[in-house]
Amino acid sequence: MIIGYARVSTDDQNLDAQTDALQAAGAERIFADKISGSMRKRPELDKLLDQVRPGDVVVVAKYDRLARSLRDLLDIVEAIKDQGAGFRSLAEDIDTTTPAGRLVFHVFAS
Helix axes 70-82, 43-51, angle to 10 degrees: 30
pLDDT tens figures, 53-74: 999 999 999 988 988 788 888 9
Out of 9, 38, 69, 89, the active site residue is 9
> What does the pLDDT read at residue 1?
96
Determine the average pLDDT of the residues in 31-39: 79
C-alpha closest to that of 74 among 47, 46, 106: 106
Please confirm, yes or no, whether 9 is among the known catalytic residues. yes
- What is the DSSP secondary structure assignment for residue 89, as one 8-state letter? E
In percent, the amount of the chain with pLDDT more than 90 equals 60
- CA 55-63-42 angle, to 5 degrees, is 80
- Chain mean pLDDT for the chain: 90
pLDDT tens figures, 65-105: 988 788 888 999 999 999 999 999 999 889 999 998 888 88
**Domain 2-109, CATH 3.40.50.1390 — does that match?**
yes
Determine the average pLDDT of the residues in 34-54: 86
Written in H, E and C, the secondary structure of 25-67 is: CCCCEEEEEECCCCCCCCHHHHHHHHHCCCCCEEEECCHHHHC
